[in-house]
């Protein structure tokens, strides 16, 4: 997974993500903490890079214009979940609710299409039982998110 991207791959990756990374709302994710000392923006970039590498590994079969926006916006919920009061009700817990919040923001600020929204909505599966990733892009982001969260947590 650590293989360096070629110049061509790096350009492709950057060209798709640039409009998102230059947006003030996406930059706002720098202010929120994901795991340990990693910001939500850093985490989302890690997920985008990992999802892109997984796509290379598994035969370049995804639509990168779905995979990469989905990855960079998968945690676009725009609040610090550490500030939220703890809920004992499982369906109100951050892990369960943030995909919908991120999805709404992606639609509101970037007019994310249905496929990108599905990537975002399903990234916490199997926690969100009924939001099953059904297309390749959603599956790769779901896996990449777990790999990155684990690595970032162990890095603390």
Size of the site for Fe ion (CB under 5 A): 2
Q: Specify the residue, 75 or 118, whose C-beta has the smaller distance to Fe ion.
A: 75
**Burial of 86 by CB count in 10 Å (0-12 exposed, 13-18 middle, 19+ buried)?**
exposed
Contacts of 126 (CB under 8 A, 6+ apart): none
One of 66, 67, 75, 112 touching Fe ion (CB under 5 A): 75
Stretch near Fe ion under the rule CB under 5 A, chosen from 17-25, 80-88, 103-111, 142-150: 142-150
Task: State both tokens at 86.
Answer: 């703890």
Least distance to Fe ion, CB of residue 141, Å: 9
Stretch near Fe ion under the rule CB under 5 A, chosen from 3-11, 12-20, 125-133, 143-151: 143-151
- Determine, following the binding rule CB under 5 A, whether residue 145 of this chain makes contact with Fe ion: yes
Q: Specify the residue, 75 or 137, whose C-beta has the smaller distance to Fe ion.
A: 75
**Three-state secondary structure along 100-129?**
HHHHHHHHHHHCCCHHHHHHHHCCCCCCCC
Q: Specify the residue, 6 or 87, whose C-beta has the smaller distance to Fe ion.
A: 87
Residues 18 to 47 in contact with Fe ion, rule: CB under 5 A = none
Stretch near Fe ion under the rule CB under 5 A, chosen from 18-26, 61-69, 105-113, 139-147: 139-147
- Determine, following the binding rule CB under 5 A, whether residue 152 of this chain makes contact with Fe ion: no
Contacts of 51 (CB under 8 A, 6+ apart): 67, 68, 71, 140, 141, 143, 144
Question: Rounded to an integer, what distance in angstroms lies between the CA atom of residue 137 and that of residue 70?
Answer: 8
Residues that bind Fe ion (CB under 5 A): 75, 145
């Amino acid at each position: 997974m650590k293989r360096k991207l070629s110049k061509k791959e790096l350009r492709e990756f950057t060209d798709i993500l640039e409009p998102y990374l230059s947006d003030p709302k996406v930059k706002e994710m720098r202010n929120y903490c994901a795991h340990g000392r990693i910001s939500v923006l850093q985490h989302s970039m890690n997920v985008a890079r990992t999802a892109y590498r997984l796509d290379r590994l598994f035969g370049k079969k995804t639509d990168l214009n779905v995979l990469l926006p989905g990855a960079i916006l998968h945690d676009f919920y725009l609040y610090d979940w550490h500030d939220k009061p703890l809920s004992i009700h499982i369906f109100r817990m951050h892990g369960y609710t943030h995909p919908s919040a991120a999805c709404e923001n992606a639609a509101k600020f970037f007019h994310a299409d249905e496929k990108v929204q599905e990537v975002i909505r399903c990234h916490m599966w199997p926690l969100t039982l009924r939001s099953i990733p059904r297309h390749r892009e959603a599956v790769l982001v779901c896996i990449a998110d777990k790999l990155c969260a684990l690595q970032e947590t162990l890095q603390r």
